[in-house]
Structure 1
């Protein structure tokens, strides 16, 4: 059942996460993955922007669009051609923005699993035994879950893309798309706690669906946080993991 109280609670948990980080001096666990995120993001962006330009150039040559535009000798047509080419590159960038977050969650899953575990250990005043084999299983599970979420999110976005062509109703698709992405991001943050409590993938999916308001609230703040260049990219992932862990522990849901 969807609960607006869970949405509000998940949003408020970010404030609790900030206080928790300050109180227990967890900044190194925030900044290290944050710096890695920024380095990987800018490296990936460099290649995406460059290769998207090469793709547009290859496509225009393949379809002889460049020669056609030159033969017309129209400044307006040339301008429109440049605008369309730029728009295609922007679409590639938007797709990159959307899916890089998941790729980073896969790469940094050991750090975020540990961060979620450390948060619960402090809250519950207990230690969790470390195991390399268990860490490997957690990483593999994180990869599977992220890939699942990517597939589901992509399918939902493609449906929204088709609906967007319907007059009036289509105007709502950007907002619906925002909520869909937010839900799946929050889903990923909650799953770190689920895997630690030995819920298998199907159990975790069922549990998070029952508390989808919590996933949505966590993901909304994460999404908005990520819109802040550099600072948001550095802080948002770790804050989201800690906020989700605190919210789940406070409610004793797991």
Structure 2
């Protein structure tokens, strides 16, 4: 429960920190990048799913099936394609926004305690590269976990819970991506970050869930979610680090 409370508290606190740190102008950039990525992947998803369905229709003569079965197969292909590209989209988004979100995380900490970080160009490149690597690893684990959960969905009494567990799995890795900007700045190695994540998985999952819920708000969400979530997760991660330091 502590992790859930901390994530919620940090999320609401983020708005005042954004105002105090004069970061409201940064709502625009991630929103524009979001819209471009969504548009590109939507078009790609439609194109690929249409081609897959056409090939399956030709190979298996799907048009000979009853209308209901034909529609069910078509819907399944579209849903699976959408799920795949949504996972790809999130991974691409976090990679593209990595330099921006790293800066926002740093600026958040600077707003809180006026602490200035002197990073060289090499350090900044290393931060960006680590963000890309973590996003790629998270995407791979998400895909494997999602496929396993989809296979488990065949079991009747588990099928209704599978969407919830897929949502939770994705939220967990989204939260971790945001957390790692702060952990890297505080000299946590990749292995230490993973240990930190396992200890605070509830905070990570609930933070990622809040990001997803806000992100799905029509039009407004794509502009608000990245900035607010990055600031909120930075606030929560700093509280956890300070709590561990003095206990």
Q: What is the TM-score normalised by the length of structure 2?
A: 0.90
**CA displacement at 1:90 relative to structure 2:** 2.7
**CA displacement at 1:209 relative to structure 2:** 1.0
Q: Distance in 1 between matches of 2:186 and 2:121?
A: 17
Match in the other structure for 1:30: 27
Counterpart selection for 2:103 from 114, 122, 142: 114
Partners of 1:182 and 1:223 within 8 A in 2: yes
**CA displacement at 1:79 relative to structure 2:** 5.1
Larger radius of gyration: 1
SS of the residue corresponding to residue 160 of structure 2 reads helix
Counterpart selection for 1:47 from 38, 44, 48: 44
SS of the residue corresponding to residue 169 of structure 2 reads helix
Match in the other structure for 2:235: 246
Counterpart selection for 2:77 from 84, 88, 94: 88
Unpaired segments ≥5 residues, structure 1:
70-76
Give the aligned CA root-mean-square deviation in angstroms: 1.8
Partners of 2:17 and 2:111 within 8 A in 1: no
Q: 1:165 to 1:59 in 2, by over 3 A?
A: closer
Counterpart selection for 1:187 from 151, 176, 187: 176
Structure 1 stretches of at least 4 aligned residues deviating more than 6 Å after TM superposition? none
2:12 aligned with 1:15, yes or no? yes
SS of the residue corresponding to residue 218 of structure 2 reads coil
What are the equivalent positions in structure 2 for 1:61-210 lying under 5 Å apart? 61-66=58-63, 68=64, 77-78=66-67, 80-210=69-199
Partners of 1:102 and 1:150 within 8 A in 2: yes
SS of the residue corresponding to residue 128 of structure 1 reads coil
**CA displacement at 1:201 relative to structure 2:** 1.0
Partners of 1:116 and 1:193 within 8 A in 2: yes
Deviations 1:1-31 (A, max 9, x none): xxx1122111221110011112332122222
Deviations 1:126-179 (A, max 9, x none): 211242211111111111111111122222222212222223233222222221
**CA displacement at 1:180 relative to structure 2:** 1.4
Q: Distance in 2 between matches of 1:103 and 1:175?
A: 23
Unpaired segments ≥5 residues, structure 2:
none
Match in the other structure for 1:73: none
Q: What is the TM-score normalised by the length of structure 1?
A: 0.88
